[in-house]
Amino acid sequence: MDKRPIGVFDSGLGGLSVIKELNRVLPEENIVYFGDTGRVPYGTKSAETIVKYTRQDERFLLSHDVKLIIAACGTVSSVAGFTADELPVPFIEVVTPAAKAAVKATKNGRIGVLGTAATVNSNSYKNKMLEIDPNLTVVQNACPVFVQLVESGWIDRDDEVTIAAAKRYLQPLIKHKVDTVILGCTHFPAIKDIIADIMGEGVTLINSGEQAALAAAEYLNTNGLLGEGGRRRYFVSDRAESFASIAGILLGTEIEDDVEMVAIESFGG
């Protein structure tokens, strides 16, 4: 048994979709989560800034002696995934597992990708899927407002504002008749029911957070690194109170532990 925790980080609340899936597939693992709520969103930042933030987030998790780091952020995975080469522990990003799942799921070879502007502009999901099957048609659309809507807790299935935004963002995917959609930002599963309603029956949604959690479970099991304890610790860079309240909605259960503040800038430049 390796009782060291899994480290998970995201620009804000979205990475809790990974925690939710880890709770399901690896309930006995200890987990340390960092949400950079003071600097969310990452998707509108420059590549240089995203890389800087990513390294700080990773250093914070390493200070907790984690055995594995999950970048629960499509933007980080797309723009700063190369920082994995600098780490002393294994690193799992959300792009590769989700891309593989989408290629496996599609029946008509038309796949949609929803993500932040940085993720879409990087073409990370698109390039990864075309490596697997060059004949695919990949339709991408940046959905930056989704992040703010989720962070604000506007995730009810009948929320008129979120529905209106989703209808606008999803039009290109509907026009190209995709049958599979990657939720390429870990915030987006929080509004998956709205997206599913608009896309209609017969369209498969790929939850990038779920795929990352499954990849983590496979890695730990294969390499004899499974642990025990089941402790969860949550850290944020701002707004601890609002994090706790919205996190309960996203996780489907209330956070019983205290949410601690971190001066993330102190973890390097």
Question: Looking at the annotation, which residues are catalytic?
Answer: 73, 185
Give Cβ neighbours of residue 89 (< 8 Å, ≥ 6 apart).
7, 62, 66, 67, 68, 69
Strands 110-115 and 180-183: parallel
Distances (CA, A) of 25 to 19, 212, 232, 262: 10, 11, 14, 28
What are phi and psi for residue 211, nearest 5 degrees? -65, -35
Alpha helices in the chain (DSSP H): 16-25, 47-62, 74-79, 95-105, 117-122, 124-132, 144-151, 160-175, 192-199, 208-222, 240-251
| 36, 61 Cβ separation under 8 angstroms | no
Q: How far apart (Å, rounded) are the C-alpha atoms in residues 38 and 254?
A: 22
CA–CA dist 59, 53 (Å, integer): 10
Distance between CA atoms of residues 236 and 242, nearest Å: 11
Contact 246, 151 (CB under 8 A): yes
